[in-house]
Amino acid sequence: MERFGSGETVVRRDVFRGRVWSAHALRVVRDTGEAVVATCGPGAEAMVATSYVESRTTGDDAVRRQALPGLAAGRWRLDRWAWQDTVSVLWNPADTYFSVNAFYEPSGDRRMRSWYVDFQRPIRRTGIGFDTFDLLVDLVVDPDLSSWRWKDEDEYAQGRRLGIVDDADHWAVEAAHDRALAVVEGREGPFAPDAEWMRCPSGPLGPPPLLPAGTLATDSAAADARDGAGTARAAHGPRAARSGPRAE
């Protein structure tokens, strides 16, 4: 599949058992074929589980905890959402069980808040972006890489009990833990001092990226989704003008 162009809008989707669990509109920074680097800021369009939207708007964490049982049972609905609070730059390598987010303040000097290693299934490119599935556990790293901590280990354990994270995923994540820590400690890849493509975009961020038609189409409908994105481009200009990480 051809690479995505700089400035183009792509959609990162979490897909579970053939259905979209979440979708986030991103704007491409660069695509080397080996990795896609994309960004988004406040207002970038998303679709996420209704339980997530309710927990964010009400502050009721009990609602959030209902999400995984609903996911395991195949009972979920999606609502419109928008990325909030940060500018994210997301590194998505091929054939790897993790991606890396760099989170920045959206205004002022846009200082970095943190690095965030998201363990997930390897990405699969689609006509409108790429698909993966978040495997629930994460690694939060200080901006200067001096320390780190695991996050959401309780959700990971729950996902194991419910069968959301199967044995193959579990052993892949165990191996990815060691690889991710080696990348952090070795200052490699997105953590390298000369990795300018992971810096926060300078200047105005421009219009937030929007989700294209066909965002929820999967599998055999992928070609139709791509055709729909093409129609949107014809009506609204280049892909960058039309269309997150996991929501914050």
The one-letter amino acid code at 88 reads: S
58-83 pLDDT tens trace: 877 777 778 999 999 999 999 999 99
9-30 pLDDT tens trace: 999 999 999 999 999 999 999 9
- 190 alpha carbon, distance to own chain's centre: 15
Cα dihedral: 128, 130, 133, 135 (round 10): -140
What count of other Cβ atoms lies within 10 Å of the Cβ of residue 188? 12
**Eight-state DSSP code of residue 238:** S
Q: Does domain 9-242 have CATH number 3.40.640.10?
A: no
**Mean pLDDT in residue range 203-222:** 82
The DSSP-derived string for 178-207 is HHHHHHHHTT-GGGSTT-GGGSPPPS---S
Confidence at residue 129, expressed as pLDDT on a 0 to 100 scale: 96
- Ranges of H-type helices in 61-166: 61-65, 67-73, 153-162
**Highest mean pLDDT range out of 57-71, 82-96, 205-219?**
82-96
- Name the residue ranges covered by the structural domains of the chain: 9-242
